[in-house]
Amino acid sequence: MNIIGPFMAGCRALAASLPNRCLLCHQQVAAPGSGICLTCLQTCLYRTPVCLGCGRKLTILARYCGGCLTTRPLPVIAPASYHSLLGPLIPRIKYQAQFAAMPPLVTALVQQVNALHAAEVIPIPQVLIPVPLHPRRLRQRGFNQAWLIARMLGQQLQLPVADGVLQRVVATLPQTGMDGRARRRNLRGAFRVMDKFPYQRIALVDDVVTTGTTVDEIARTLAPWTPDIQVWCLARAEAPGV
């Protein structure tokens, strides 16, 4: 798949969309292109450690809360809740090519990853794998937001981004409004691993994780190849009831 065209289009849109005002409070930001001022960012980012399984607040930095220790769900690392004020900014990345929230959130995610790694809660992956779009969707949109985020993370953490090892082979229906079962059915078999997959430790990268159905389906697809999968995203929704 030719990714250079969409990538260049993404970079141009990125450069053109970075304002020098905070997207939330509209105050001037000190560093042009940072998108969210420090005050708003501090208000929105997690202020306590959270369970990587369900998003529940924790008193100490740990991988899981008591409940998730038994079920061990896919660990999701995010710097903020999707239900914070940041939530509405994230869909704007993909639907309006409004990228200004990306740089400060990527930096916050890097800090989160480094803190969790320093506390030996997570390993550093060998490679970052952006959640792929179906080629048709990629042509329509012109860029894959997960790929842009992965590239930025890779630059800051000196990690390679593997594009093309995982492909989306089914153009699934939009998931909004579907219940959990319908979402899982919709995504069943949607991803395919290309023949050589030499990684044992990976991080899937997406813009946001809400129900987790997409990343769960990818993890199911990758399970025969890689035992250690984590998910990195800019914001996550907490599990229901948390």
Which residues in this chain contact Zn ion in the complex, by CB under 5 A?
22, 24-25, 37, 40, 51, 53-54, 56, 65, 68
Helices (H), the chain: 4-16, 38-44, 66-71, 89-96, 102-118, 135-141, 145-157, 180-187, 213-222
Judged by CB, which is closer to Zn ion: 78, or 146? Answer: 78
Judged by CB, which is closer to Zn ion: 8, or 25? Answer: 25
Judged by CB, which is closer to Zn ion: 39, or 111? Answer: 39
CB 31, min distance to Zn ion, A? 13
CB 43, min distance to Zn ion, A? 8
Token match 């970052």: residue?
128
Sheet holding 201-209, edge to edge: 76-77, 228-236, 201-209, 127-130
CB 123, min distance to Zn ion, A? 19
CA distance 204 to 218: 9
Judged by CB, which is closer to Zn ion: 40, or 150? Answer: 40
CA distance 80 to 78: 6
CB 21, min distance to Zn ion, A? 8
